[in-house]
Amino acid sequence: MKKLFSALCLILILSYSAFSGGDVMNSAGDKAVLFHFNGLSNLSAGSFMSTNSMSIGSVDFPSFQAIGMKYYFSDGFAGRGALLLGYNSETVKSGSGGFSDQKESSFGIGLELGIQSDFVKSGSFVGYLGALAGFALLSGTYEPSVANPPPAGTATKYYASVTNFGIGGLLGFDYFIYNRISLGAEYQFGIVFGSGTYEITRQALPTTTQDLPSQMSLGFNTVSFKLAAYF
120-147 confidence digits (pLDDT tens):
999 999 999 999 998 889 999 999 999 9
In whole angstroms, what is the distance from residue 53 CA to residue 59 CA?
11
Domain boundaries defined on the chain: 2-230
Any idea what the Cα angle at residue 226 is, between residues 8 and 132, rounded to 5°?
Answer: 130
- In sequence order, the 6+-apart residues with CB closer than 8 A to the CB of 229 are 32, 33, 180, 181
Pick the CATH number of 2-230 from 2.60.120, 2.40.160, 3.30.70, 1.10.260: 2.40.160
- The half-sphere exposure of 102 on its side-chain side, counting CA atoms within 13 A, is 9
- Output b/e per residue, 126-161; b: 16+ Cβ within 10 A: bebebebebbbbbbbbbbbebeeebeeeebebbbbb
Residue-wise pLDDT for 162-186, tens only, equals 898 889 899 999 999 999 999 999 9
